Structure 1
Amino acid sequence: MDSRQLSYFLAVVDHEGFVRAAEHLHLAQPSLSQAIKALERKLDTPLFHRHSRGVTLTEAGRALVGPARQVLRDLQVAGETISAVKGLRHGRIDIASMPSPAIDPLSDLIAEFGRRAPGVTVNVVAAATAERTIEIVRSGSCELGVLGTPHPLHDADLVTRRLRSQRFVLITSGDDAAPEGALRREDLAGRRLIAGPRGTGMRSLIEEMRSRGIDLDVVVETEHREQVLTLVAGGVGSAVLTDGWGAVARRMGLRVLDLEPPAHLDLWLITRRAPITPAAREFWDMVEHGDR
C-alpha cells in the first residue's frame, strides 16, 4: 500500500463517506472508490461496509485507522525534518482544543508562535470535552491538544504539560442586581443557567452544586460555547464559565462575578508519546520553556 491510498482511506473515515471525502480531496468519486477497492484487494479484506445510508468501518477497517494515521504522521515528520535541516520555515500544526482554553491561553500562544514561525500554518480543531480532545490526539488526527479538567491529568499514552489554572465565575447580564464582589454558591439558588454538555468543567460544577442542594435550573444546554455569552446578553440566563471568558464578557457589557468558595479548571497541553513534526516540537518547546 502507498501513502496516497492511506490518505484516501482516512478521508473516507473522517468525512463519513465517499461523497464528502471526494469533495474534500477535490477528486472524482469513482476515482476515490477505485483507489479504496485497490487498497482492499491489496489487503485482501474489505475495509468498509457499503449500504444505502453510506459506509461504516469493518473490523479490519477500524484496525487500520490508527496505523494509517501514524504512517502519514511519520511521513510528515520526515519531510518537515528535512525541510528544517535545510533551514525552511514552513509546515502545519493540528491542535485540538476545548472552547475555553482556545480563547485563553491558546490564542496568545498561537500569536507568539506566529511571530517565531510565520511560515507555519496552525489548524485548530474544536473538541467539546476533555475526553474528546484526548481521543483526537490519541488517534493521531492532531499532534497537540489543549484541554481543561478539574482533576489531575495522568495518562500513560500522553505527554502532558500543565499550563495554568482558570477560576470559574458567574457571567450575568449587565443589569443583574447581584451585589459587587464575590458571590456565594448558595446565592445562585433559583437562577436560570445556560450550560455546556455533560463532560465539560462548567457542567460538572453545576452538577456538584446541585448535589449539595442548591436549586439551579438549566434552561439551555449548548455545545457551542461561543453562543453562551450571546444568550446571557439576550437575557436567557446566567452562565458559569472560566475567567478566560471574562474580558470578552465585559466588552459585551456583561457582569463577571467570582464564586465562593472558588473552583478552578487546570489547563493542559498534551501530545502522544510518538515523534512529532519540527513545527509541533517548536510549539511545545515554546510552551515548556515559558519563552513567550
Structure 2
Amino acid sequence: MDARQLEYFVTIVDEGGFHRAAERLHVAQPSLSQAVRTLERDVGVALFHRLGRRAVLTEAGRAMLEPARQVLRDLDTTRATVESVKGLHTGRVQVAVLPSQSVEPLTAMIGRFHEVNPGVLVAVQPAFTAPEAADMVRGGRSELGLIGAAEDFALPGLRAHLVERQRFVVVTGPDGPWEPARATVGRAELAGQRVITSPQGNRMRHVVDEIIAQGVDLRIVVETAHREAILPLVLRGAGLAVLTEGWAEFARGSGARVFDLDPAAELRISLIHRPAPLSPAAQRFLDSALRR
C-alpha cells in the first residue's frame, strides 16, 4: 500500500467513479483500475462494487475511507511543515464554510490572513449545514470548518474555537412595514408577515420555526437552500427574512431595512478542526482568526 494508491482510492470516491477520477488525476483509466486492484490485493478485500461506470464502496471500503484521508492529510502536513522552514510563501488551506458565514466573518478573516500570507491559497468549500461541515472536516475533505450553530451543538471528535457571536436581525425591503429609524422589531410584530427562509437543519430556520411555535402568524412563502437568493427576494418584495447580522451591512448597502430581533437570538460562530496537527498554512489561518 502506498500514497499513490490511497490518493486514487479517495479520488474515485469523491468523483463517484473510475472514469471521472482518471480525468481528474490525469491518468489512463486502465492504469487507475490496475492500481486499485493491486490495493485490493494488498488489503485482501474488495473496496468497490463495480456497477457499470459507477463505483460504490463496500463495507470494507467505507471503513478504509476516513483513515485513507487522514494518511494523505498527514503526508501533506509533513511536506508543508518542511517547506515552511523556508518561510510560508506558498501553500493551501481548505475551509468548509456555511453560506452565511462565507459573507461574514470569512471575508474579514481572509483579508487579515492575506495581509501577512499573500501567497497562500484559501480554498473555500461549501457546506449547507453545520453537521455537513463537521463531517467534511472529520472525514478529511477539509482541514478547517467555519460554522454557525446553537450553543449546544455537539462536535464529537473535533476541536472548536469560538470566533464570535452574531445576533439575528429582521431584514425587509425598502418599503417594509416598519420605519427605518426603528432599532428593533418584536417577535409578535411579525404576525401577518411573509418570510423567506432556508430549509430545516440550520440555526436560521430554527429561529423562524421558534417564532411560529410561539403563536406568531408568520407565513413561510419561499424556502431556499441558496441563501444568496434570500436578500434579492426580500428586495423584490417577496417577503422579509430573519438573517444573521453578518448580512446587515450588505443588506443596508443594497437598500434593505435592518432591525434587531427582540427578544434576541444568537448564533455561535466557531472554527473547527480535527485534533491532529494542522498544516502550517491552516495553523496560521486559525491563529490569525483567533487574534481578532
| TM bucket normalised to smaller | over 0.9
Identity %: 48
Q: Distance in 2 between matches of 1:218 and 1:8?
A: 45
Q: Distance in 2 between matches of 1:11 and 1:30?
A: 15
Q: In the superposition, relative to structure 1, how do residues 23 and 193 fare at CA in structure 2: closer, same or farther (>3 Å)? A: farther
Deviation at 1:23, TM superposition (A): 2.6
- Report the counterpart of residue 169 of structure 1 in structure 2: 169
Q: In the superposition, relative to structure 1, how do residues 236 and 155 fare at CA in structure 2: closer, same or farther (>3 Å)? A: same
Q: Distance in 2 between matches of 1:173 and 1:132?
A: 31
Q: Distance in 2 between matches of 1:101 and 1:165?
A: 11
- Report the counterpart of residue 203 of structure 2 in structure 1: 201
- Report the counterpart of residue 91 of structure 1 in structure 2: 91
Q: Aligned pair 1:129/2:144, yes or no? A: no
Aligned 1:64-143 pairs, distance under 5 A: 64-143=64-143
Q: Distance in 2 between matches of 1:152 and 1:285?
A: 24
Deviation at 1:153, TM superposition (A): 4.6
Deviation at 1:154, TM superposition (A): 4.9
Q: Distance in 2 between matches of 1:10 and 1:208?
A: 41
Deviation at 1:29, TM superposition (A): 2.8
Deviation at 1:263, TM superposition (A): 0.8
Aligned 1:229-268 pairs, distance under 5 A: 229-268=231-270
Runs of 4 or more, structure 1, over 6 Å off, are none
Deviation at 1:150, TM superposition (A): 2.2
Equivalent of 1:183, from 182, 185, 189? 185
Query: 8 Å contact 2:231–2:251 — kept in the other structure?
Result: yes
- Report the counterpart of residue 283 of structure 2 in structure 1: 281
Q: In the superposition, relative to structure 1, how do residues 219 and 21 fare at CA in structure 2: closer, same or farther (>3 Å)? A: farther
Query: 8 Å contact 2:88–2:117 — kept in the other structure?
Result: no
- Report the counterpart of residue 20 of structure 2 in structure 1: 20
Q: Name the amino acid aligned to 1:277.
A: S
Compute the TM-score of the two structures, normalised by the length of structure 1.
0.94
Q: In the superposition, relative to structure 1, how do residues 53 and 241 fare at CA in structure 2: closer, same or farther (>3 Å)? A: farther
Q: Distance in 1 between matches of 2:257 and 2:17?
A: 45
Q: Name the amino acid aligned to 2:36.
A: I
Q: Distance in 2 between matches of 1:53 and 1:24?
A: 15
Compute the TM-score of the two structures, normalised by the length of structure 2.
0.94
Q: Distance in 1 between matches of 2:124 and 2:83?
A: 23
Structure 2 stretches lacking a partner, 5+ long: none
Q: Which moved more, 1:19-28 or 1:250-259?
A: 19-28
Q: Say which SS state the counterpart of residue 279 (structure 1) adopts.
A: helix
Q: Say which SS state the counterpart of residue 119 (structure 1) adopts.
A: coil
Deviation at 1:88, TM superposition (A): 4.8
Q: Distance in 1 between matches of 2:123 and 2:75?
A: 18
Deviation at 1:27, TM superposition (A): 2.9
Q: Distance in 1 between matches of 2:30 and 2:140?
A: 28
Q: Distance in 2 between matches of 1:246 and 1:150?
A: 20
Deviation at 1:271, TM superposition (A): 0.8
Q: Say which SS state the counterpart of residue 8 (structure 1) adopts.
A: helix
Q: Distance in 2 between matches of 1:205 and 1:88?
A: 42
Q: Which moved more, 1:232-241 or 1:20-29?
A: 20-29
Q: Name the amino acid aligned to 1:48.
A: F
- Report the counterpart of residue 217 of structure 2 in structure 1: 215
Q: Distance in 2 between matches of 1:233 and 1:97?
A: 25
Q: In the superposition, relative to structure 1, how do residues 221 and 86 fare at CA in structure 2: closer, same or farther (>3 Å)? A: same
Q: Distance in 2 between matches of 1:87 and 1:176?
A: 53
Q: Say which SS state the counterpart of residue 179 (structure 1) adopts.
A: coil
- Report the counterpart of residue 9 of structure 2 in structure 1: 9
What do you get for the CA RMSD once the two structures are aligned? 1.6
Deviation at 1:156, TM superposition (A): 4.6
Q: How many equivalent pairs are there?
A: 290
Aligned 1:19-58 pairs, distance under 5 A: 19-52=19-52, 54-58=54-58
Q: Distance in 2 between matches of 1:248 and 1:20?
A: 39
